[in-house]
């Protein structure tokens, strides 16, 4: 979710009924070095609360110091990422690389728990691959070290973002840690997906990540037991752009805007042409006009169908 779950997108998610949100993963090293842009990534808008801050790193002392520095922002949880498979994260021993070293993962949890009063949570995968489900070991050790919540993306690192969801592994973790708050994540796009997760695993709640990019109304649709619309309303998309402009500034918001338009237009007619036009334009006002015309037309066509 790096580059997508920024503050403006989290505000849109809350607008559509997400019970809480979490930041994109934030480098503990950069926080400790007082990198200004990294601190901006951790900022929480009052309109998005309750919100958690997710940090990543491989040094227990640095992770503890980073947690102390963001605690003043009053997050709901300080979340430790132990599931990201991106090489730029894992090559430094962070993210899903920690699943290969359960003892180090537990040391990080213990250090962060001891450094802050804010509850600590972790985000994991089931393991390195289907032959090595060490994620479950990390979860048990994290619970012993004081973690208050565990979110499981029910795939291995080798699976990346495809392949079947391992409901059985999560159900086993539910049985092993009956008192732990357990959150399920992976392939949740509809009310049917949500029901399947809850029925097969007994988790306390669900986290929707990639399924919400381009479809933030998925949260309210699932709560209503309905299918999310294939086209988000023009008003929703323009509100998202206004919040991007507010957060990034008129010039810097154009890059993130283009990324989000790729997803808002995914699967729609004339999407390739629309995306090229979005790429070609540099003026934010012209971009807003183009986007409004395109999604007005697609929404009208959807309603007429």
The tens digit of pLDDT for each residue in 79-127 reads 999 999 999 999 999 999 999 999 999 999 999 999 999 999 999 999 9
On whether residue 180 sits in a domain, the answer given is yes
The tens digit of pLDDT for each residue in 248-299 reads 999 999 999 999 999 999 999 999 999 999 999 999 999 999 999 999 998 8
Domain final position from 179, 202, 224: 224
The tens digit of pLDDT for each residue in 278-288 reads 999 999 999 99
**Residue 25 belongs to a domain with what CATH number?**
3.20.20.70
pTM to 2 decimal places: 0.94
- The DSSP secondary structure of the chain, one letter per residue, reads -TTTSSHHHHHHHHHTT-S-EEPPPEEHHHHHTT-HHHHHHH---GGG-SEEEEEE-S-HHHHHHHHHHHHTT--S-EEEEE----HHHHTTT-GGGGGG-HHHHHHHHHHHHHH-SS-EEEEEEEESBTTB-HHHHHHHHHHHHT--EEEEEEEETTTTT-S---HHHHHHHHHH-TTSEEEEESS--SHHHHHHHHHHH--SEEE-SGGGTT-TTHHHHHHHT-PPPSS--HHHHHHHHHHHHHHH-TTTTHHHHHHHHHHHTTT-TTHHHHHHHHHH---HHHHHHHHHHHHHHHHHHHHH-
Q: Do 255 and 187 share a structural domain?
A: no
pLDDT interval class at 3 (50, 70, 90):
confident
Q: Do 252 and 161 share a structural domain?
A: no
Q: Which residue did the predictor score with more confidence, 145 or 305? A: 145
On whether residue 66 sits in a domain, the answer given is yes
pLDDT interval class at 163 (50, 70, 90):
confident
Q: Do 153 and 272 share a structural domain?
A: no
On whether residue 2 sits in a domain, the answer given is no
pLDDT of amino acid 129: 85
Q: Do 158 and 60 share a structural domain?
A: yes
Whether residue 42 is predicted with pLDDT greater than 70 in this model: the reply is: yes
On whether residue 189 sits in a domain, the answer given is yes
- The set of catalytic residues is 84
pLDDT of amino acid 305: 65
Domain final position from 159, 194, 224: 224
Q: Do 211 and 241 share a structural domain?
A: no
Domain final position from 166, 193, 224: 224
Q: Do 261 and 175 share a structural domain?
A: no
Q: Do 287 and 205 share a structural domain?
A: no
On whether residue 229 sits in a domain, the answer given is no
Range of the domain at 212: 7-224
Whether residue 161 is predicted with pLDDT greater than 90 in this model: the reply is: no
Q: Do 14 and 160 share a structural domain?
A: yes
Q: Do 239 and 217 share a structural domain?
A: no
Q: What is the mean pLDDT of residues 155-177?
A: 93
Q: How many domains does the chain have?
A: 2
**Residue 247 belongs to a domain with what CATH number?**
1.10.1200
pLDDT of amino acid 50: 98
The tens digit of pLDDT for each residue in 226-246 reads 888 889 999 999 999 999 999
On whether residue 1 sits in a domain, the answer given is no
């Amino acid at each position: 979710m790096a580059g997508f779950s920024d503050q403006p997108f989290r505000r849109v998610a809350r607008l559509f009924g997400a019970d809480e949100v979490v930041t994109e993963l934030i480098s503990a090293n950069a926080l400790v070095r007082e990198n200004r842009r990294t601190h901006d990534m951790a900022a929480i808008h009052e309109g998005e609360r309750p919100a958690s801050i997710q940090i990543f790193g491989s040094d227990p002392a640095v992770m503890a110091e980073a947690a102390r520095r963001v605690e003043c922002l009053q997050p709901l949880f300080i979340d430790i990422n132990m599931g990201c498979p991106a090489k730029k994260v894992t090559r430094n021993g962070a993210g899903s690389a920690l699943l290969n070293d359960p003892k180090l993962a537990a040391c990080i949890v213990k250090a962060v728990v001891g450094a802050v009063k804010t509850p600590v949570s972790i985000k994991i995968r089931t393991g390195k691959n289907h032959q090595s489900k060490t994620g479950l070991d990390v979860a048990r050790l994290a619970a012993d070290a004081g973690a208050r919540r565990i979110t499981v993306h029910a795939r291995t690192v080798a699976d990346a973002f495809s392949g079947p969801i391992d409901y059985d592994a999560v159900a086993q973790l539910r049985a092993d840690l009956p008192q732990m708050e357990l959150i399920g994540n992976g392939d949740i796009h509809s009310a049917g997906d949500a029901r399947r997760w809850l029925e097969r695993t007994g988790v306390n709640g669900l986290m929707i990540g990639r399924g919400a990019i381009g479809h933030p109304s998925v949260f309210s649709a699932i709560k209503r037991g309905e299918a999310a619309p294939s086209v988000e309303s023009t008003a929703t998309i323009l509100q998202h752009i206004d919040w991007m402009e507010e957060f990034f500034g008129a010039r810097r918001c154009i890059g993130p805007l283009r990324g989000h338009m790729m997803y808002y237009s995914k699967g729609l007619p004339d999407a390739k042409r629309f995306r090229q036009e979005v790429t070609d334009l540099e003026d934010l006002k012209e971009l807003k006009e183009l986007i409004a015309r395109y999604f007005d037309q697609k929404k009208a066509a959807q309603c007429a169908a």
